């Protein structure tokens, strides 16, 4: 299993647009599911910091998120917004899960 966490902080005026872009990614994943991929995004208490978690059965599956037009649009918008803290990816080593990928 592969697991990656990405954390970043947007400008206050971009937070709602970022949420909308994330929701578009999730809708695309619902309409075109990628077997073995679990992707979620969270907004922290400050309303500006976002954390994305991508869990996948392998490296190839992990990268399939990059094939979605909605994800590419999300990334482009985030970059153009000039985030306060740019995205920082952290690879995580899975210890255990209550489900099978």
| Tens-place pLDDT, residues 21-52 | 999 999 999 999 999 999 999 999 999 999 99
Q: Domain-by-domain residue ranges, the chain? A: 2-92
SS3 59: helix
Sign of CA dihedral 93, 64, 59, 91: negative
Closest CA to 14 of 86, 87, 89, 83: 83
Could you read off the pLDDT of 64-98 as tens digits, one per residue? 999 999 999 999 999 999 999 999 999 999 888 88
- Asked whether the whole model's pTM tops 0.75, one would answer yes
Integer CA distances (angstroms), 3 to 32, 51, 75, 76, 84, in order: 21, 13, 19, 23, 25
What confidence score (pLDDT) does residue 40 get? 97
Q: What CATH number was assigned to the domain covering residues 2-92?
A: 3.30.70.100
CA 96 to chain CA centroid, nearest Å: 21
The β-bridge partners of 26 are none
- Read off the pLDDT band of 100 (50, 70, 90): confident
What confidence score (pLDDT) does residue 101 get? 63
Answer with the residue of higher pLDDT: 1 or 68. Answer: 68
Measured in residues, the chain has a length of 101
């Amino acid at each position: 299993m592969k697991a990656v966490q990405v954390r970043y902080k947007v400008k206050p005026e971009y937070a709602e647009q970022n949420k909308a872009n994330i929701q578009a990614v999730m809708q695309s994943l619902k309409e075109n599911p990628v077997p073995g991929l679990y992707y979620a995004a969270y907004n922290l208490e400050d309303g500006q910091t976002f954390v994305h978690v991508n869990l996948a059965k392998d490296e190839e599956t992990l990268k399939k998120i990059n094939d979605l037009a909605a994800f590419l649009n999300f990334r482009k918008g985030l970059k153009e917004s000039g985030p306060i803290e740019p995205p920082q990816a952290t690879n995580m080593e899975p210890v255990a899960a209550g489900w099978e990928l």
